[in-house]
Chains A and B, each alone.
Chain A
Amino acid sequence: MNARIYFNQLRMGLKIFLRAPSAVFWLVGFPIAILLVLGTVLNDKVDDSIKLTWSYGATGAAVNAEDTALKLAMAERGLVVETMAPAAAEARWQLGKTPALLEGQDGKYTLRINTYYAPQGRQIHALVQQSFLIAQARARGVGELLPMPTTMTSPGGHRGGPYAAYLLPGLLGLNLLMMGLISVGMVDAAQRERGGYKRLATTPLPHHVYIAAQVSIRLIIAFSAAVMLLLAGAAVFGVYNQGSYLSFAALVLLGASCFICLGYALSSFMGGVDTYAGVSNLLLLPLMMLSGVYFAIDSAPLWLQHAVEILPLAPLVTALRAVFNDGASLGSIGPSLAILAAWTLAAFAVATKRFRWV
C-alpha cells in the first residue's frame, strides 16, 4: 500500500518536474551552461601570453643596449611586449586597454600597473621586475642565473588540468546547494503557505511516505544533473574523474542529503514563501561567492576563509575536487566529510523535529 503510494508520488513528481522547463534549466542546464561559458573564456586566458605596452623614449624607435637586454629577459619569461611611441602608449593606457605600461628613457624605467587588471597586473609586475634584475645581472657579468625547478599541479599532485577541471566539482557542489535551498525549501514553504500540505493532511497519506518520495525525486534529479555535467566536462574539455566513481557518487549523495535536510530545516522557521526567498538568497549568495566554487579565495581575510570552511558548501566542494582532480580516497578527506556529516545530522534532526503539515 505505502509502496504503491510512494511510487505513484515519485512517478508523478518526476513527470511534473520534466514539464517545467525553467526547473529543468536551473537544476540541470544551468551548471552545464556555466561550465561551458567560464571553462571556455577563462581557459583561453591561461594559455595566452601576458601582454604589456612599452613606450620607448621620446624618439620612438631608439633602442640602446639596456633596452635590448631587458627586452630579451622579458621575452624569456613569456611576456609579450607591444611597443609604441609615448603619446600613443599614453592614450592606450588612459583608455584602460593595457594591463601595464613600461616607460623607458636613457636606461631609466618606470612601470605602471592597471589595478583593474589584478591579479594579472601583479603577475606582470613580478615578471618585469625579475627581467629587469636579470638584465642588470647580465650587464655586470654575474654569469647565468639558474631558476629553481617549479611544477604546476593540483593540490593532490595528480594533474594540472585546465580551469574546467577546477570549476566542474565546484559547480556540482553549488548545484546541490541550490537544489536544497530552492527546489526543496522553497517548495516546502509554498506547500505549507498555500494549503497544499493541509489538503494532504486530510487524506490517509502518511508523512514519511510523502517525504520519502519528495527526497527521492530530488536525489534522482541531483544524480542526473551530476551525470550530465560530467559528460559535458568530458566531451567539451576532456576532464575526467581521476578518483573512484563510487566515492564521487557517495559525495554527491552526502551533499544532496545535507542540503535537502537544510532546505526543510530552514523553511520550518519561515512564515511563508516571501520570507523564505529573502533568507535563502541571503545565505546562498555569500556561500556561492566565498566557498571556492569559481576561484580559490586566498585573497579574502583569513577569518572569513576559516568561517567559510566550517559551512557546508566549502567542505563539499573541497572533497569533490580532491576526488575528481586528485583521485583522493574518502579516507584522505576525513575532515571535510566530518564537517559535512555534522551539518547533515544537525539539519536532519531539526527538519524531522519541526516538520509539520499545517
Chain B
Amino acid sequence: MQTWAIEAIGLQKRFGKVHAVRGLDLRIRRGEVFGLLGPNGAGKTTSLEMIEGLVRPDDGEIRILGLDWRKDGNEIRNRIGVQFQSTQLDDKIKVREALHLFGCYYRNPRSPEELLKLLQLEEKADAFQSTLSGGQRQRLALGLALVNKPEVVFLDEPTTGLDPQARQVLWGLVRHLREEGSTVLLTSHYMEEVEALCDRVGIMDHGQILQLGTPRELIGELNQPSFVEIEFRDAAPDVQAFAAHLGMPVEAKAQHWSIALGDPKRDLHRLMSSIEALDLPMQQLHVRRASLEDVFLHRTGRSLRE
C-alpha cells in the first residue's frame, strides 16, 4: 500500500483567542507539488509549521511519509527539507560554509559543490551570506532545505519579494525537484506561481481549506472561463445603464470594468453590440482567461492581495 507523503487530519490550533487553524484536512501524494494559496493571516504558515513539527497542534493527526512526529521525529527530520520566508544565517558565514555546516547535520548529505551547481551559485561560493542579492539568498535558503536529498520539501512563500527574473530561476528549481520525484508543499499568495508550479492547489482562508483540486479543475468550476476587461482614459460612463443594456453583471472599479463571460461566444457578441449601441468611449479592451485569483475572489468575496 502506498503511503501518503503528507497526511493531516482535523488539525486545530488556537493562539489565545485567535483560532488560527480550524479543522485542516490534507493528503498529499508522493511526487506531488501541492500549493496552499491564501491571503496573509489565512493560517498557511501555522498549518505548515504544524506539519513541519514546529508547532504542536491542539487536535488532529499528522503523518509524514507514514511516520508520526511524536515517535519518529528524528527520522522525519532526516527526510524532509524546510525553507522559511527568511533564513537567519550569520552575516559572516560564506555560502559554501553554510551548505557544508547544514550538511553535517544529516546522515547522507549532498556535497556543497553539487548544491552550488544546482543553485547556480558557484561564483558566489566564497561570498559572505550578507552580500547576496534577495534572489541569491532565497536560492541559498532553498539549497539548505535540499542538502539532505529530502523526500518531502516545504517552501514557505519561496518567491515573496523577488523580482520576476529571480522568481523564474526559483520556479526552475522547483520544477527540477518535481522531476527528481520529490514531494513539494509550498505556500504562496501569488496565484500565477501556484498555477505555474502546482499539480494541486488548496485555497485557504480563515484557517480552513475552502476548495481543493488541480488549478484547471478549480478554474473550471467557476463556469466563467473568460473575462473581458475594459479601461477608460477619463471618467467611466454610467455603469448601471451599460449593465442594464447588456443584461450581465459588470464589476466596476473606477476606470476599470470587468465582465465575466459564462459562454464566451454568445456573451462576447452581446458585449460588442452593447458597446457599439452605447458608443462606449473606452481606451482599451482585452480578454483574459479566468485565474485562481478569480476563484479566490468568487469563494471569499475578497482579493488575495487585500
Contacts and interface: CB of A to CB of B under 8 A. Distances in A.
Interface string A191-213: 10011101101111100000000
Contacts of A202: 52-54, 77, 80, 82
Interface string A215-236: 0000000000000000000000
- Interface core residue of B78, B88, B97 (most chain A CB under 10 Å): B88
Interface of A: 4-5, 8-9, 12, 15-16, 19-20, 191, 194-196, 198-199, 201-205, 358
Given A12-B97, A16-B93, A202-B54, A195 B88 contact: yes
Contacts of B55: 358
A199 B82 contact: yes
Contacts of A195: 84, 86-88
Given A12-B93, A12-B101, A358-B54, A204 B88 contact: no
Contacts of B90: 16
A194 B107 CA distance: 27
A69 to B, nearest CB: 71
B84 A203 contact: no
Contacts, number: 53
A15 B94 CA distance: 11
A204 B78 contact: yes
Interface residues of B, number: 26
Given A199-B88, A358-B55, A204 B93 contact: no
A19 B86 CA distance: 23
B266 interface: no
B210 interface: no
A198 B78 contact: no
Nearest to B56: A358
A203 B54 contact: no
A203 B102 contact: yes
A195 B82 CA distance: 12
Contact of A199 (B53, B87, B100, B104): B87
A5 B92 CA distance: 19
Contacts of B53: 201-202
Contacts of A196: 88-89
A192 B115 CA distance: 27
Nearest to B54: A358
